[in-house]
Amino acid sequence: MHQKTLVELAAGLRQGEFSSVELTRACLERVGRLDEQLNCFITVTGEQALAQAQAADARLQSGEAGPLTGIPFAHKDIFCTHGVKTSCGSKMLDSFIAPYDATVTQQLNMAGAVMIGKTNMDEFAMGSSNETSYYGPVNNPWDVQRVPGGSSGGSAAAVAARLVPASTGTDTGGSIRQPAALCGVTGLKPTYGRVSRYGMIAFASSLDQGGPFTRTAADAAIMLGAMAGFDVRDSTSVDRPVDDYRAGLDHSLEGLKIGLPQEFLGAGLDSGVADAVTAALAEYEKLGATLVDISLPNAALAVPTYYVVAPAECSSNLSRMDGVRFGYRASDPQDLEDLYTRSRGEGFGPEVKRRIMIGTYVLSAGYYDAYYLKAQQARRLIREDFLKAFETVDVIMGPTTPTPAFRLGEKADDPVTMYLSDIYTIAVNLAGLPGMSIPAGLSDGLPVGLQVIGDYFAEARLLNVAHRFQQVTDWHEQTPPGYE
């Protein structure tokens, strides 16, 4: 059953080929047998999952089931889950049991999905390799000596290794698309405001967005349909009806105009990645699409802009982690200042501390105008580049990452080099646009992702474009050796 897609599993459940309990037990068995070498999960909720599966089977028998009823999935450990540890991959929240459900959690529960556990992640979503987690790094199932990408590395690796058919993630600067590319799965970052951030512990509030990991675009359409929607509890949620993302999956791509930013195809791009992207674009031409050269002249500003805006917002958001109200608390503090200092010093890891310090600096008196204000101005220019491009093209394509998965520890001591892992994804978050990564080939036996970027709320178009490609290629069907 583990090789079936979400769509196939949903059909099997409806037809009575197997029960949700049987399917859930099969997933839990694979997690128990295989996750020791991957470290995808922080928490496995076996008993809760089986109870949810029994409830799902009852719904299936009554004929009240939806497309996700009885389907096991894994939740990134950044979404609050009532009664279950929500750690954000940090010592700071190692003892935090969420007292409520995030909106995304609620919606997946209502859809009848079965949560089998919470996945490992970079601490507070700060990282591009899943090496900053308090619980240790996640290993890429294609090569356990390599990173799965981050921050949602546990979610991506769990789907790639066929431990679960789907998982959730969050994307602040590429943290769904980059691990999806490095692990060879489909990952979708929706338009900012399309998926509620309520109960999704914040890193950078103007950039964070939740989305799904799946094997196929058709599966992602089902997941997004359940996750998306307006939420009065999230002031950044957009009051807009949710599209039927499955309705247009098979639409023809005849006449589709694909923009190719020359800035994404220059120095620093691995030759194997470039070859895979070129071959994928040729397939799109066979499907009737036209390739159009475009320019995003301010793309070079994306990385420095992001690493001013995101740390500034994280320094504000993480100020609540002070050892007083919840989370890690230093023992035997001498006074309030000692409590704050040692709780934060002992509870946060090096990367989180680094970003808090940068954020505090750029927001401080005398530096705000020079750094933060300039970054927001650059952000506006980046957004305008995309808007101008979408006047002439329907979607934008290019590589998701400049290289395949790199080795564990290879970039750990060089933060700037690590930050450049997201060079092609960050601009999409700064502009608030939707983007996705789909498997498009292999380079030296490692997956390559093709990034597809759309205009605001064009998720249905992205899913259609991805689905049609997956109908004529089999890269999304490739399984890491040893996980077949």
Q: Which of 19, 128, 151, 421 is catalytic?
A: 151
Q: What torsion do the CA atoms of 263, 269, 275, 277 make, to the nearest 10 degrees?
A: -50
CB 408 within 8 A of CB 150: no
Give the distance between the most distant pair of CA atoms in the chain. Answer: 70
Asked if 298 and 382 count as a contact pair (C-beta separation under 8 A), the reply is yes
Q: Is 151 a catalytic residue?
A: yes
CB atoms < 10 A from the CB of 287, how many? Answer: 15
Contacts of 388 (CB under 8 A, 6+ apart): none
Residue of 76, 91, 118, 189 marked active site: 76
Rg (C-alpha) for the chain, rounded Å, is 21
* Euclidean distance between CA atoms 214 and 473, whole angstroms: 16
* Summary count for the chain: helices (H), strands (E): 15, 11
Which one is catalytic: 20, 87, 155, 175?
A: 175
- Per 3-state DSSP, the chain is made up of helix, strand and coil in percentages (nearest 5) of 40, 15, 45
Tell me if residue 76 is catalytic: yes
Cis peptide before 151 (omega within 30 of 0): yes
Q: Is 175 a catalytic residue?
A: yes
| Crossing angle between the packed helical segments 271-286 and 459-472, to the nearest 10 degrees | 90
Tokens of 250: 């098979």
Of 136, 121, 118, the closest CA to residue 49 belongs to 118
Active site residues: 76, 151, 175
